[in-house]
Amino acid sequence: MIDRVLLPLWEYAKLSAITRDDVRDFQSSYVAKGYKPGSVNRMMALVKYIFSLAERWEYIDKSPARGLSKLADNEHKERFLTPDETDRLLKALKNCQGAVVPDLIEFLILTGARRGEASHARWEDMDFEHGLWTVPMSKSGKPRHIPLSVSAMKVLKRRVENNSPFIFANPKTGEPLKHFYSTWHRIRKEAGLEDVRVHDLRHNFASLLINHGRSLYEVQKLLGHASISTTQRYAHLSQDTLKEATEIVSRSIGSDGGAE
């Protein structure tokens, strides 16, 4: 966890220079990425332990993590966007200064991809002729292929001049965009969607597919779930869609509950 989580953030920082706000931002950033409270709390426990050792060994005067509260370990309710909320979010993206974060968010909305997959997407992974994105190493440990809509392709074409092998690159470093919580927070606030996480865009993509009659198998393949059991969380949406279908039939024949 130290190599994967802490070093990329604070590898070149002096312990004495890391402030309480830095630690709070670290905690908030992983909430924004969609990590569960329990996972964030485990990361914070490691952070607190490291700083407590630094304090004990007199590398620092006081731990900046001391006294910070744990997150309430409640399961975050999956959040789906209404058409009006989607319109508000897209409008806020257009109004946002800087192109990288808005383009990345719109791409996530249109593909249902994981944030890490999109932020590390490279030009060489894209087949523009066939509208296909190959994720070289997905969460399942295998490459997967994501078909791209016309709208998703338009987002990519806006990024062509970024002079980096990565599509959504940090304009200062050319490396994959990693930390954009403050920008995402401003976008959510303007759209009036402060409870929406980046990962909720993936849930929303799945719900739209289900509500338009696509099968759980199709959703599984598009989201890159290794097992259909993971996709089963959306089964209740499928049942809602089926119920709506029966109501359509009922309305079309004008049934009032009494057939002659």
pLDDT of residue 258: 47
Mean pLDDT, rounded, for 232-245: 71
CATH class of 83-223: mainly alpha
Mean pLDDT, rounded, for 7-11: 67
- Tell the residue number behind the tokens 């329990």, with chain if given: 38
Q: How far apart are CA 27 and CA 69, in angstroms?
A: 10
Q: Dump pLDDT digits (tens) for 142-162.
A: 788 999 999 999 999 998 877
pLDDT of residue 225: 85
pTM beyond 0.75: no
Residue 185: pLDDT band (50, 70, 90) is: very high
**Strand arrangement of the beta sheet that strand 126-127 belongs to:** 126-127, 132-135, 144-147
Mean pLDDT, rounded, for 40-46: 88
CB distance 122 to 166 below 8 Å = yes
Q: What's the longest Cα–Cα distance across the chain?
A: 89
Name the residue with higher pLDDT: 65 or 10: 65
Q: How far apart are CA 29 and CA 45, in angstroms?
A: 16
pLDDT of residue 30: 83
What 8-state DSSP symbol labels residue 3? I
Looking at the chain, the domain(s) classified CATH 1.10.443.10 span 83-223
Q: Where are the beta strands (DSSP E) in 39-167?
A: 126-127, 132-135, 144-147
Q: Dump pLDDT digits (tens) for 197-230.
A: 999 999 999 988 888 888 888 988 898 888 887 7
**Degrees to nearest 5, angle at CA 12 with 10 and 15:** 65
203 CB contacts (<8 Å, ≥6 apart)?
78, 79, 80
Q: How far apart are CA 137 and CA 145, in angstroms?
A: 10
Q: How far apart are CA 69 and CA 65, in angstroms?
A: 9
pLDDT of residue 259: 44
3-state helix, strand, coil in the chain (%, to 5): 55, 5, 40
| Distance set, CA 239 to CA 19, 50, 78, 207, 227 (Å) | 49, 49, 17, 12, 20
